[in-house]
Structure 1
Amino acid sequence: MKSLSIQSLLLMFSSIILLFQFSCNTSEENEIVEYETAVDQWPEITKESKPWTRWWWMGSAVDKENIDYLLEEYERVGLGGVEIAPIYGAKGYEDRYLDFLSEEWIAVLNHTVSKASELNMGVDMTLGTGWPFGGPQVRMEHAASKMIVQEYEISEGQRDLEIVQRKRNEREPDAILINVIGTFKNGERKDLHDLRFGNVIENLPEDLEKVQALYFAKTEQKVKRAAPGGEGFTLDHFFKTAVNNYLESFDKAFDNAYPDIRSFYNDSFEVYGADFTADFLVEFEERRGYDLKMMLSELTDNTGDEKSIRVKSDYRETLHELLLENFTENWTAWAKAKGKKTKNQAHGSPGNLLDIYGAVDIPECETFGSSYFPIPGLRRDSADIRNVDPDPIMLKFASSAAHLTGKNLVSCETFTWLGEHFKSSFSQMKPELDQTFLAGINHVFYHGVTYSPQDVQFPGWLFYASLNLTQHNSLWEHFSEFNQYIARTQSVLQSGMPDNELLVYWPVYDVWANPKGMMELISVHHIDRWLHPTEFYKQSKQLMDLGYSVDFISDKMIAESDIKNGEIKTHENANTAKALIIPKVEFMPLETLEDILTLAKNGAKVIFQEKPRDIPGLQDLEEKREKFSTLWNETGLDKNTEVAWGKGKLIFSKNIASSLEKEEIHREGISETGLKFIKRKIGSDKYYFIVNHSANTINRKINFLTQSENAIIMNPLNGKMGLAKSQRDGKYLGVALHLEPGESLIVRTTNQKSEQIAGWGYHAAPISNIEINSDWKITFGPNGGPNLPKEQQMENLEPWTNQGDKDADFYSGRGTYSGSFEFELDQSLNYTLNFSSIHESAKVWINGKYAGQAWSLPYKLDVSEFLIQGKNDIKIEVANLMANHMRYLDINKIPWRNYHEINFVNIDYKPFDASSWDVMPSGLGGKLEIRGFKK
């Protein structure tokens, strides 16, 4: 046998690597894969890395011709997929409505999926219409259910009692009386069924003190914003028979021949008042070990009595288990059997968010409202925002669940009520978007785009609570580069795997111990109650602010974890974590403490902020308490700040950060500067997505915790990359970075080298600063309205609004500034074009060549390759907002709001009216400068 040459061996090795990379690229998109890519390339832009959108089918008034047109438009501007959500329709178009799941509706759905596939786009589908799940296939016995408890005080000498349902109104249906429980003066409780004759209790015992009647009732909630053919009762998510019946109705409608959609989708749990189900009492007793109907007094008590708190916790835990098992896991298994995925919003449900998010293929969170960022020049009018701030820690419940269960994609319903209708710009969207990326989101869904046929004039069909980025929006022709920014960023954030070194235990039993009410909905709108006051939140935020990367872990996830090389591994496809943090906890199950100590015994590092105060629940309380106390005492943490425990270590510390440093679990140096980051690892390399949300420019060396020798800077705005100035400093790699307020960059640390990559062009200290002065001409069109304004001439750069032209004040569309200027070109410099203000997005051509689009703060473009010596021509096309055109419609009382159900509301859910709005500035303003920097 001939020996192989070195070249042959290298060629063979390269082929194996390429084959491996190909196999990774063709694996399922939500499976975490880890391999190295060439440092001179961005990761591949796939349909998953592009942004997707919820696609409102109003009245399901859809047809194949418009489907083709709209999908082609969406693909043209850079959308990667759509999520079909049928809802109520526009009035006057009822003859176009298609009933949900009718043969005609399914035919259009099949056509949609086929057309999307032709365009390399994906399709998801809401499994119902409107929200939540429900419809005409939900019979009354399978509709959302609730518990009613009525109390009767027994007076001295009373011999009988008639139990009568106390109805809120005459329309309330009869509930089923399932139990009557008597409480006696000695405290004993008995079921009084032997004394019942219908609804009358006869021969009341003399020592009877109180009677409680337990009813099984229906919430009567119907599907909200239902589409034609989708009207009906909301599903009982806790009842497996009801869920299976609901799913089988889709099998029947599709004859089990489902189109090639990617996933079925479920919105946030908005099943109001649903706190019971048909077999709840049986399930409760099997799971919790006692009879709930004998604890109705404790269940309905709101005084904070300890026994009451324990019963409530058991009740809420049972609801969680039924929702998880009978709906979420059941639904996901059903979808998987059909080759489909599930995408689910767990928030708002009465359950452990981490476990419910983790039970589906694509966990999805939601941003609602707008955040405050101190970025200079960022518009945030208090009249146009809701009084709610999205919290990135809330978003991390979804990303943590994905990270710890080995799923790669984490989606987000993005920009819900970011601002008042028609007033949201790309520059306002970007900081909010970057904040979701920093929380671990890597699969953005716009909320949303409305199907609007070509024959419906401006403003087209609109949804009452969304961003309304449709083809009628004046920003539409500038949408593509915004989407490219997302696609580049998500291509990185979908690569490799998370690189979070800490796990923080979320004590859901503390949430379930709320003494008030019965069902505890863990919603995004009440984080000030269940999240912000907790030590879990404070410790997590502090660790993140210090430069640590964290994921949140549940009791179930701890139980399913293992140890690999002294680190905690929660799933075969998950990253390993260096330590488990247990913040101050009121209630921790005995089993969880046992699981934590088992992890430590096998090699984990565990840091307790305090000893857990107690165990939850009522069953075998004293026995479990004693075992818990004995187990804790065995650790020796009451007397020692740290103890060896098997192969691992237990640490007792009020200062978690200092204990981490002592254990040589180091933090990133990035956060010391005020910058925010998230990191991914890909082989031995790391990607860092870095954002400056502060008011200050950051221009300094940043310490990256990596063994790599080199750093590549990548700009997701334009796709440019370059070799950073860097130097090793002990365990850190110091990298020179310059980020102005609002900027984001990606840094890849690596030991790979490439001669294809030039040095990064730093724009820190300008050598020259030249203001462009020109006689500006502004022309309008080609589209826009209500009327195209006349051409304007300006000596100074100003908006085209408030210049005395009413047509220009009402105009929404594109206006083009044209001019020329003289320039002294210095070949030793790089140049940027810097705008003071843009309302709202600007495309620039210099000397006939496209130089880029400025749409986010800071408004600047690298124009080094476009400038010439002497005279330079410049053309700047500006797209403004829809607001001024909408103002025109309402001032002139031109009807456009004409929808069934909610019609159209403003950000405060009051009737929408733009007639009192001020004119929104449109165009350019301030200075336009060219700044020169040394190469």
Structure 2
Amino acid sequence: MKKSLLALLTVAALHQVQAQAPKWPDITQQHKPWTRWWWEGSAVNEQDLTRLLTQYQQAGLGGMEITTIYGVKGAEKQFIDFLSPQWADRLTYTLREAKRLGLGIDMAQASGWPFGGPWVTPDDACKYVVCQTYTVPGGGQLAEPVRYVQKPIMRAVGQPMDLKQMAQPVAKNPDLQLHAFDQVRFERPLPLQALMAYGANGKVLDLTSKVGADGQLNWTAPTGSAWTLYAVFEGWHGKQVERAGPGGEGDVVDHFSKQATEDYLKPFDAAFKEKDISYLRAFFNDSYEVDDAQGEANWTPRMFQEFEKRRGYDLRQHLPALFSQEADNDQHRRVLSDFRETVSELLLENYTQTWHDWAKTHNALIRNQAHGSPANILDLYAATDIPETEGEDLLRIKFASSAAHVAGKPLTSAETATWENDHFLSKLSDVKKAVDRMLLGGVNHIFYHGTNYSPQAAAWPGWMFYAAVHFNPNNSFWPDFGQLNRYAAHCQSFLQAGQAANDVLVYLPIYDAYQRPGKVLLQHFDGIEHGFKGMPVGATGEELLKRGYGFDFISDKQLLGVKTAGRALQTGGTTYQTILVPAAHTMPEATLAQLLHLAHEGATVVFQGQLPTDVNGLHDLKKRRKAFQKQLKTLKLQAASGGGQRATLGKGTVLVGTDVDQLLTAVGVRRETMVDQGLEFVRRRHATGHYYFVTNWGEKAVAGWVPLHTAAQTAALYNPMTEQLGLAAVRNATPNGAEVYVQLAPGESCILETSTNALTGPTYAYPRPTGPAQPLAGPWQVRFTAGGPTLPASQRLSQLTSWTDFGGEAGRQFSGTAAYTATFAAPAAAADGWLLDLGRVGESASVQLNGEPLGTLLGPVYQVFIPKAKLRISNTLTVNVSNGMANRIIGMDQAGQQYRIFYNTNFPAKLKENRGPNGLFTTAGWQPQPSGLLGPVTLTPVSNQAP
């Protein structure tokens, strides 16, 4: 398998050379969705590995990401320690089988998350800082010792343990799966990092060397005013690896230390020595998540040295400013900003880049979830081969895809459908909506969350993970899961091609965020809500989405690499029309200089609300402020005709104003007005035009002319769910755009491929009703074909209703598939075909007519077109309906059957109303979910008419 990014880009480039006739791209392993694959307790065997990989391949998955986590109770004898020789053998066996089956393999580089394990020594474990102050009168001495004893903490997901009985470090204790420690701090004196004395006259003394081993300070304060002493101690944060499996339990690594990162990676080299892991595509990090424990991991042993090297001054001289709680203290904000910037750089260089360089030695990529980190996550993502995000908020998703677009990364991945609903309730239509959300945010490499390895011998529902949704063969929606995967693969075959086609670069005002005081030293950046909440950039991003502007975020570091090509901006990954600075107050002088340089060279730079007013940080403040103001004075702003202010600078322009829509219109950026019709889109550029992914998640169908604001002479239309394709109806084609006719039911999506050249081929069939809907009343023969716990008896229905109503107790508890069969005469009305509408379905359906498949319907609308040629005088319609797992689980809970059999996090509920007395998930308050073909089923005559 080729793993270089050059190879991936070459594939994308080849895709741009399209045939003249519309044609689905060939589906590759990379186009298909992948899934996180949990190895609980690493209790895997070769026979079940082959069986499961085969099932995954047959369901249309493209690959797996192995994540080893906590074990299953009762399977202890099968546990395999993470990175042990036996574990490495299971990995290499999996790689061989995956290669044979055409599946890709990534692996998480920890058992659980974040990075950590039993080999992480106290020196390499994550740290925190404690600051303690003392007051010494002039001419006096400090009587008490300079000493800080760490307070004990013992937090366990499983059984707690008496700290006094615990061995140190934590990994040396027995029964770690039983305890599932989350954070442990032992009571111990902390090492002193610095003791600094601050006098009233601004004088600062370093007293660190005057503190004895017993903590006594050998120093007499000079006469006069009192002195304030700041003592800085380094503590052991105690964060443990979350959800760790056997052999993976232990301390989380110090992400700010290069030595700690290198030490962390050495056991992987040892485990893989003389093992063939060449087929492994990428190593994965499942988010930062160090500071969800008590306190922060906000320190590293070399912090003082690193700070001075990077910021140009000694942090010890400014400890009162760093640890101040005065929000209006300018010096505090500046030192705090410098501290946070230093942490950001350490996380980028000492962890992310060090890890990336190590992966290269194994000819592998890295996939990284940077969100939640105390850093500029755009820079962390840009240093990652495959940036990965999660969640549902588009602005959050766009942080990862923005970095990929700006840096020229071909793939953005996403942990998808983590908690769509509570356990066993998520439908495939819910998952499709989650997939669409990711694609709209610029993601083009879906990873489901996720799939459990479960041995064949395990009783139903098998081994499961604590988060929904459960994408495994035991799930009763599995027969229709392949349709969702084929849909996602079709979408991604286009969205992995070409280049992102966004017009606007949105500057991320990280220094405004860095300098905001708070209760903690570090800011954790995770989309807008975490780190930028309340700042103008959030409202600006939402407005751009609402108005239909394509945009990407860009960091200061990335901005310094941008070049101009006439009026366009080139980032190395793609091109943009303008850069928008959303009401930033503070930025480095180098950033302002670059913005003005780009304008001078021909670009248009837009400042929303105001020009920046000040530089960040404390070092050389007067000098840098003077240079900053000098740059601003080069702008001769005058009133602009359309509102706001304008300044000509060299070949380009600077605009300042409050109305973003007005400003971008002045630049010539055109919004996609399809959003006014309730549609959402993402757009990519190819050799002769654009690809649009368009969705309708509104409550009403859209059938009409949709304007596209890119040059298009012709357009091909693809339905990635039904696989219908053809040349779309186009009108009013101009060099600036065209209108394309689109029909989208609620929850439906399409791909538009526009071209400035003439495409040839069959036209897209637009079915339009030519008469009223006619009921297909039945009777219906219902036969239960697969599932359990038992198959209900067959039934003959004169009226459709849930099988939980007509199937007796077996029907109420049944999760699986039933075949509904009815016969009907060919309708008499003249039509090109008939629209079959199943009405309500619980929950997905595959449809056959006279033994031939018509399609698989996932919802929320369940309609399929029947061509006239497929109808006979007498017709047999078969609808195979699969429901979810909920009803069978309800029966198990009622009978007291145990399926919550897991160590560590043992099946919690997402919603509090679904928590039982023991705090675990329960269905005790549930009623059976409506299941089966619920109808009414209708046939509507349609003709394929050009708009």
Shared topology, TM-score over 0.5?
Answer: yes
Q: In the TM superposition, what is the alpha-carbon distance from 1:415 to its structure 2 partner?
A: 1.0
* 1:112 is the counterpart of 2:94: yes
What one-letter code is carried by the residue in structure 1 that aligns with 2:394? P
What one-letter code is carried by the residue in structure 2 that aligns with 1:144? C
Q: Is the 8 A contact 1:354 1:553 kept in 2?
A: yes
Q: In the TM superposition, what is the alpha-carbon distance from 1:768 to its structure 2 partner?
A: 3.6
* Structure 2 residue corresponding to 1:285, chosen from 294, 308, 311: 308
Aligned to 1:548: 549
* Structure 1 residue corresponding to 2:241, chosen from 223, 240, 243: 223
Q: In the TM superposition, what is the alpha-carbon distance from 1:531 to its structure 2 partner?
A: 3.5
Q: Is the 8 A contact 2:768 2:943 kept in 1?
A: no
* 1:871 is the counterpart of 2:874: yes
Aligned to 2:51: 69
* 1:746 is the counterpart of 2:751: yes
What is the CA–CA distance in structure 1 between the aligned matches of 2:209 and 2:241, rounded to whole Å?
A: 40
Aligned to 1:716: 720
Q: Is the 8 A contact 1:43 1:495 kept in 2?
A: no
* Structure 2 residue corresponding to 1:913, chosen from 922, 935, 938: 922
Q: Deviations over 1:361-412 (max 9, x none)?
A: 0000012xxxxxxxxxxxxxxxxxxxxxx31111000000000111111000
TM-score (norm 1): 0.92
Q: In the TM superposition, what is the alpha-carbon distance from 1:583 to its structure 2 partner?
A: 1.0
Are the structure 2 counterparts of residues 25 and 899 from structure 1 closer, same or farther at C-alpha, using a change threshold of 3 Å? closer
* 1:324 is the counterpart of 2:348: yes
Q: Is the 8 A contact 1:738 1:764 kept in 2?
A: no
Aligned to 2:703: 699
Aligned to 2:191: 176
In the TM superposition, what are the counterparts of 1:18-167 in structure 2 within 5 Å?
27-28=7-8, 33=13, 35-38=16-19, 39-154=21-136, 159-167=142-150
Are the structure 2 counterparts of residues 770 and 894 from structure 1 closer, same or farther at C-alpha, using a change threshold of 3 Å? same
Aligned to 1:934: 943
What is the CA–CA distance in structure 1 between the aligned matches of 2:865 and 2:5, rounded to whole Å?
A: 33
Q: In the TM superposition, what is the alpha-carbon distance from 1:908 to its structure 2 partner?
A: 4.3
What one-letter code is carried by the residue in structure 1 that aligns with 2:689? D
Are the structure 2 counterparts of residues 394 and 735 from structure 1 closer, same or farther at C-alpha, using a change threshold of 3 Å? same
Aligned to 1:255: 273
Q: In the TM superposition, what is the alpha-carbon distance from 1:173 to its structure 2 partner?
A: 3.3
* 1:478 is the counterpart of 2:480: yes
* Worse overlay, 345-354 or 542-551: 542-551
Aligned to 2:601: 602
What is the CA–CA distance in structure 1 between the aligned matches of 2:414 and 2:403, rounded to whole Å?
A: 14
Q: In the TM superposition, what is the alpha-carbon distance from 1:271 to its structure 2 partner?
A: 1.4
Q: In the TM superposition, what is the alpha-carbon distance from 1:717 to its structure 2 partner?
A: 0.2
* Worse overlay, 279-288 or 252-261: 252-261
Q: In the TM superposition, what is the alpha-carbon distance from 1:295 to its structure 2 partner?
A: 2.0
In the TM superposition, what are the counterparts of 1:228-627 in structure 2 within 5 Å?
228-255=246-273, 257-259=275-277, 260-272=279-291, 273-304=296-327, 305-367=329-391, 390-524=392-526, 527-528=528-529, 530-571=531-572, 574-609=573-608, 610-627=610-627
What is the CA–CA distance in structure 2 between the aligned matches of 1:635 and 1:712, rounded to whole Å?
A: 47
Q: Deviations over 1:3-27 (max 9, x none)?
A: xxxxxxxxxxxxxxxxxxx999993
* Worse overlay, 130-139 or 656-665: 656-665
What is the CA–CA distance in structure 1 between the aligned matches of 2:201 and 2:865, rounded to whole Å?
A: 84
What is the CA–CA distance in structure 1 between the aligned matches of 2:535 and 2:878, rounded to whole Å?
A: 54
* Worse overlay, 700-709 or 762-771: 762-771
What is the CA–CA distance in structure 2 between the aligned matches of 1:906 and 1:32, rounded to whole Å?
A: 42
* Structure 1 residue corresponding to 2:741, chosen from 711, 736, 741: 736
Aligned to 1:379: none
Q: In the TM superposition, what is the alpha-carbon distance from 1:209 to its structure 2 partner?
A: 3.5
Are the structure 2 counterparts of residues 24 and 211 from structure 1 closer, same or farther at C-alpha, using a change threshold of 3 Å? closer
What is the CA–CA distance in structure 1 between the aligned matches of 2:6 and 2:598, rounded to whole Å?
A: 35
What is the CA–CA distance in structure 2 between the aligned matches of 1:727 and 1:662, rounded to whole Å?
A: 27
Aligned to 1:631: 631
Are the structure 2 counterparts of residues 24 and 402 from structure 1 closer, same or farther at C-alpha, using a change threshold of 3 Å? closer
| SS at 1:397 equivalent | helix
Q: Is the 8 A contact 1:160 1:204 kept in 2?
A: no
What is the CA–CA distance in structure 2 between the aligned matches of 1:638 and 1:686, rounded to whole Å?
A: 37
What is the CA–CA distance in structure 2 between the aligned matches of 1:899 and 1:710, rounded to whole Å?
A: 56
Are the structure 2 counterparts of residues 345 and 251 from structure 1 closer, same or farther at C-alpha, using a change threshold of 3 Å? same
Are the structure 2 counterparts of residues 159 and 75 from structure 1 closer, same or farther at C-alpha, using a change threshold of 3 Å? closer
| SS at 1:197 equivalent | coil
| SS at 2:838 equivalent | strand
Aligned to 1:378: none
TM-score (norm 2): 0.91
* 1:186 is the counterpart of 2:201: yes
* Structure 1 residue corresponding to 2:684, chosen from 680, 684, 696: 680
What is the CA–CA distance in structure 1 between the aligned matches of 2:828 and 2:847, rounded to whole Å?
A: 19
What is the CA–CA distance in structure 2 between the aligned matches of 1:276 and 1:195, rounded to whole Å?
A: 23
Q: Deviations over 1:279-309 (max 9, x none)?
A: 1110001111121122222222222122111
In the TM superposition, what are the counterparts of 1:872-911 in structure 2 within 5 Å?
872-908=875-911, 910-911=919-920
Q: In the TM superposition, what is the alpha-carbon distance from 1:534 to its structure 2 partner?
A: 2.1
Are the structure 2 counterparts of residues 532 and 217 from structure 1 closer, same or farther at C-alpha, using a change threshold of 3 Å? closer
Q: In the TM superposition, what is the alpha-carbon distance from 1:779 to its structure 2 partner?
A: 1.3
What one-letter code is carried by the residue in structure 2 that aligns with 1:269? Y
Q: Which runs of 5+ in 1 are unaligned?
A: 1-21, 368-389
Q: Is the 8 A contact 1:851 1:866 kept in 2?
A: no
What one-letter code is carried by the residue in structure 2 that aligns with 1:591? A
Q: In the TM superposition, what is the alpha-carbon distance from 1:124 to its structure 2 partner?
A: 0.2
Q: Is the 8 A contact 2:369 2:387 kept in 1?
A: yes
Aligned to 1:852: 855
Q: How many residues align?
A: 887
Aligned to 2:161: none
Aligned to 2:182: none
Are the structure 2 counterparts of residues 26 and 329 from structure 1 closer, same or farther at C-alpha, using a change threshold of 3 Å? closer
| SS at 1:140 equivalent | coil
* 1:650 is the counterpart of 2:654: yes
What one-letter code is carried by the residue in structure 2 that aligns with 1:934? S
Q: In the TM superposition, what is the alpha-carbon distance from 1:882 to its structure 2 partner?
A: 0.3
Q: Deviations over 1:345-375 (max 9, x none)?
A: 01010100111001010000012xxxxxxxx
Q: In the TM superposition, what is the alpha-carbon distance from 1:529 to its structure 2 partner?
A: 5.0
Aligned to 2:668: 664
* 1:835 is the counterpart of 2:838: yes
| SS at 1:115 equivalent | helix
What is the CA–CA distance in structure 2 between the aligned matches of 1:108 and 1:29, rounded to whole Å?
A: 32
Q: In the TM superposition, what is the alpha-carbon distance from 1:246 to its structure 2 partner?
A: 1.4
Q: Is the 8 A contact 1:33 1:497 kept in 2?
A: no
Aligned to 1:813: 816
Q: Is the 8 A contact 1:160 1:203 kept in 2?
A: no
What is the CA–CA distance in structure 2 between the aligned matches of 1:552 and 1:327, rounded to whole Å?
A: 23
What's the C-alpha RMSD, in Å, of the aligned pairs? Answer: 2.1
What one-letter code is carried by the residue in structure 2 that aligns with 1:760? Y
* Worse overlay, 183-192 or 670-679: 183-192
Aligned to 1:19: none
Percent identity between the aligned chains? 34
Q: In the TM superposition, what is the alpha-carbon distance from 1:866 to its structure 2 partner?
A: 6.4
What is the CA–CA distance in structure 2 between the aligned matches of 1:651 and 1:177, rounded to whole Å?
A: 52
Q: In the TM superposition, what is the alpha-carbon distance from 1:751 to its structure 2 partner?
A: 4.1
| SS at 2:839 equivalent | strand
Q: Is the 8 A contact 2:600 2:649 kept in 1?
A: yes
What is the CA–CA distance in structure 2 between the aligned matches of 1:761 and 1:197, rounded to whole Å?
A: 86
Aligned to 1:387: none
What is the CA–CA distance in structure 2 between the aligned matches of 1:720 and 1:752, rounded to whole Å?
A: 22
Q: In the TM superposition, what is the alpha-carbon distance from 1:497 to its structure 2 partner?
A: 1.1
* 1:201 is the counterpart of 2:217: yes
Q: In the TM superposition, what is the alpha-carbon distance from 1:692 to its structure 2 partner?
A: 1.0
| SS at 1:225 equivalent | coil
What is the CA–CA distance in structure 2 between the aligned matches of 1:25 and 1:226, rounded to whole Å?
A: 31
Q: In the TM superposition, what is the alpha-carbon distance from 1:453 to its structure 2 partner?
A: 0.7
Q: In the TM superposition, what is the alpha-carbon distance from 1:520 to its structure 2 partner?
A: 2.8
Are the structure 2 counterparts of residues 685 and 527 from structure 1 closer, same or farther at C-alpha, using a change threshold of 3 Å? closer
Q: Which runs of 5+ in 2 are unaligned?
A: 153-163, 165-185, 913-918
* Worse overlay, 480-489 or 725-734: 725-734
What is the CA–CA distance in structure 2 between the aligned matches of 1:913 and 1:391, rounded to whole Å?
A: 29
Q: Is the 8 A contact 1:474 1:784 kept in 2?
A: yes
